[in-house]
């Protein structure tokens, strides 16, 4: 069975992430979407909220599992026994960071191969960071995120 790990902050998941998950789910037997518990970032959504949102938006994709991971990505690759790491590549501006991360991970674990998938062109400019900024200022992000994320933003704006 060919399993792949799709790691990220998913704070929150966007339609671009979802597009990558759908593409990856057609290429691999199983996709493990792994939400990072990253100490350096202060997320808007808690890890539980991010996991719940992802579970809801991926409920119709049979071969997707949602997990969280702490620490190094290569340790998660070992733990979940995946043959590849999937990352989305939106534009050339993503390339340098992604290239560095892929090679660094492979240096740490020779078995850690990274596969890049390009989302649909309409998502090439969508990022969780910008979506958060717009949504928390009351802007309309309905074309960038799944419905459940809209209601989660509404709850955050009310202070929940």
Contact call for residue 12 and ligand PNS (CB under 6 A)? no
Find the farthest-apart pair of alpha carbons in the chain and give their distance in angstroms, rounded. 47
Contact call for residue 117 and ligand PNS (CB under 6 A)? no
3-state secondary structure the chain: CCEEEEEECCCCCCHHHHHHHHHHHHHCCEEEEEEEECCCCCCCCCHHHHHHHHHHHCCCCCCEEEEEEECCHHHHHHHCCCCEEEEECCCHHHHHHHHHHHHHHHHHCCCCEEEEECCCHHHCCCCHHHHHHHHHCCCCCCCCCCHHHHHHHHHHHCCC
Contact call for residue 72 and ligand PNS (CB under 6 A)? yes
Catalytic site positions: 17, 41, 90, 128
Shortest Cβ 73–ligand PNS spacing (Å): 4
For ligand PNS, give the closer residue by CB, 78 or 159.
78
For ligand PNS, give the closer residue by CB, 97 or 154.
97
Contact call for residue 51 and ligand PNS (CB under 6 A)? no
For ligand PNS, give the closer residue by CB, 8 or 146.
8
Residue 32 near residue 24 (C-beta atoms within 8 A): no
Contact call for residue 36 and ligand PNS (CB under 6 A)? yes
* String of contacts with ligand PNS for each residue 73-112, x by CB under 6 A: x---------------------------x--xx-------
The site for ligand PNS (CB under 6 A) is made up of 7-9, 36, 38, 72-73, 101, 104-105
């Amino acid at each position: 069975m060919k399993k792949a790990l799709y790691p990220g902050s998913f704070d929150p998941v966007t339609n671009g992430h979802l597009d990558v998950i759908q593409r990856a789910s057609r290429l691999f037997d199983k996709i493990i979407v792994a939400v990072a518990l990253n100490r350096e970032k202060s997320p808007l959504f808690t890890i539980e909220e991010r996991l719940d949102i992802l579970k809801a938006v991926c409920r119709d994709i049979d071969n997707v599992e949602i997990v969280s991971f702490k620490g190094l990505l290569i340790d998660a690759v070992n733990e979940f026994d995946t043959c590849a790491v999937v990352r989305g590549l939106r534009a050339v501006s993503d390339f340098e960071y992604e290239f560095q991360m892929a090679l660094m991970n492979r240096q740490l674990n020779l078995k850690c191969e990274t596969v890049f998938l390009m989302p649909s062109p309409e998502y090439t400019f969508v990022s969780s960071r910008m979506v958060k900024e717009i949504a928390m200022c009351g802007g309309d992000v309905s074309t960038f995120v799944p419905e459940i994320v809209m209601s989660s933003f509404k709850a955050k704006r009310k202070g929940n």
